[in-house]
């Protein structure tokens, strides 16, 4: 039996691969790659069926106190015009998401240095009271345990906090103001508070190796992440990494496929960054194990200013148009938008649970 066929058989049977085995699969080319993504696609269908969960993304503030060397929102980017949506604007965007049938909204922002926890908790509470059938995900970076508790008590269901890379040396280079272990502790705190936790990383970071990607995947597995956001790094001209190369779509597809095989029950989004990397990127990843899309419902007047990376897909399209194009794409590959909140399959077991130990 060929090595790749043997490794795929092993992970299908045991959900286990060693670091070196993952690296071998990350090197897969042509027919080997096709075999890997097909196995992941079948796994996705067995676990989740053909429904794709749509989550309405509200990019409510681009204020950020961090200086992450890859991100267009980093505090040193003085050309960006900064905004924070008002509570009324956020509520209107949530209403749009609900009207479009989305049963999850994701409130995302930079790591806003002065966003008061009380104000945000009040807003979460209003959204959850108005739309009790809608799940709420926060993605606002590192905060204290106390703040996470307040948001959870106010009704937040899920939290997306990507580790970005598990290579600590690389992490320090990319995040001069942030501490690797604090980010990790934040993830554990969120799990301890009963949030459904999303982790994730960027693929193709300058200095990142296949071994690093393998370590990341093993980390997501050990963390038992309910969601894993895997996106390509795209260089932004107003950052220190402006001249770094873009990764190949194929590497992103293989990473998503491996995530599906190692974490069969985790939600895996086809990220906006993969759509921005290549026109067929989203479709390719949806056929390599992904089962979630996060269409943007941020008001059009703010979209351009939430510029994480250049050429971000969908900045000109109103929420309804974006939904239509997602639905058309899903139909073209035999998929459809799934009803309901799309909670993590194991979520109820973790609510109120203890931190996972790595
Ligand atoms: N501030 C929050 C945090 O720290 O978790 C929310 C997310 S942050 C604003 C946006 C996400 O976009 C990051 O987690 C990162 O993975 C991604 N991102 C930022 N710059 C990027 C780039 N140049 N290419 C690809 N993805 C990027």
**How much distance in Å is there from the Cα of 223 to the middle of ligand 1?**
20
Candidate from 83, 273, 275 with most ligand 1 atoms within 8 A of CB, to mutate = 273
H/E segment holding residue 54: strand 51-54
Q: How many CB atoms lie within 10 A of CB 183?
A: 18
Distance CA 201, CA 215 (A): 11
Task: Give the pairing type, strands 292-293 and 227-232.
Answer: unpaired
Q: Which residues of the chain have pLDDT under 70?
A: 347-358
H/E segment holding residue 227: strand 227-232
Token pair 């949530």 is found at 94
> What is residue 80's DSSP assignment?
S
Q: What percent of the chain has pLDDT over 90?
A: 94
**How much distance in Å is there from the Cα of 71 to the middle of ligand 1?**
6
**Under a CB-based contact definition with an 8 Å cutoff, are residues 285 and 253 in contact?**
yes
Could you tell me the CA-to-CA distances from 313 to 6, 72, 323 in Å, in that order?
38, 15, 13
Taking only the tens place, the pLDDT of each residue in 13-57 is: 999 999 999 999 999 999 999 999 999 999 999 999 999 999 999
Tell me if 59 CB under 6 Å of ligand 1. no
Going by C-alpha positions, the residue among 114, 118, 131, 145 that lies closest to residue 58 is 131
Tell me if 273 CB under 6 Å of ligand 1. yes
Taking only the tens place, the pLDDT of each residue in 64-104 is: 999 999 999 999 999 999 999 999 999 999 999 999 999 99
Candidate from 162, 244, 306 with most ligand 1 atoms within 8 A of CB, to mutate = 162
Q: How many CB atoms lie within 10 A of CB 170?
A: 18
- The atom number, within ligand 1, closest to the CA of 229 reads 16
All structural domains of the chain: 3-11+18-338 (3.20.20.70)
Predicted pLDDT at 1: 87
């Amino acid at each position: 039996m060929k090595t790749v066929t043997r490794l795929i058989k092993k992970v299908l049977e045991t959900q286990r691969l060693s670091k070196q085995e993952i690296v071998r699969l990350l090197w897969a080319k042509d027919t080997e790659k096709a075999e890997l993504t097909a196995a992941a696609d079948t796994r996705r269908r067995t676990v989740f069926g053909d429904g794709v969960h749509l989550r309405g993304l509200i990019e409510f503030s681009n204020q950020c106190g961090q200086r992450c060397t890859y991100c267009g929102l980093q505090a040193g980017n003085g050309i960006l015009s900064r905004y924070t949506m008002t509570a009324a604007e956020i509520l209107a965007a949530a209403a749009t998401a609900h009207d479009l049938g989305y049963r999850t909204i994701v409130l995302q922002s930079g790591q806003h240095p002065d966003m008061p926890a009380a104000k945000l908790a009040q807003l979460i509470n209003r959204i959850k009271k108005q739309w009790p059938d809608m799940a709420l995900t926060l993605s606002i970076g590192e905060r204290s345990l106390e703040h996470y508790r307040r948001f959870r008590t106010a009704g937040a269901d899920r939290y997306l906090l990507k580790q970005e890379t598990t290579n600590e040396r690389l992490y320090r280079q990319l995040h001069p103001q942030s501490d690797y272990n604090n980010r990790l502790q934040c993830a554990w705190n969120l799990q301890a508070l009963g949030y459904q936790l999303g982790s994730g990383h960027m693929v193709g970071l300058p200095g990142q190796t296949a071994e690093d990607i393998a370590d990341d995947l093993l980390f997501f597995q050990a963390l038992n992440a309910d969601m894993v956001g895997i996106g390509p790094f795209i260089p932004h001209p107003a950052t220190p990494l402006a001249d770094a190369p873009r990764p190949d779509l194929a590497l992103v597809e293989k990473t998503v496929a491996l995530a599906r095989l190692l974490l069969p029950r985790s939600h895996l989004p086809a990220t906006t960054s993969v759509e921005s990397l290549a026109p067929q990127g989203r479709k390719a990843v949806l056929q390599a194990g992904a089962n979630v899309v996060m269409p943007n419902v941020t008001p059009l007047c703010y979209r351009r200013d939430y510029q994480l990376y250049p050429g971000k897909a969908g900045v000109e399209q109103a929420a309804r148009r974006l939904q239509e194009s997602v639905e058309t794409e899903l139909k073209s590959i035999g998929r459809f938008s799934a009803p309901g909140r799309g909670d993590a399959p194991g979520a109820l077991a973790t609510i109120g649970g203890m931190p996972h130990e790595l």
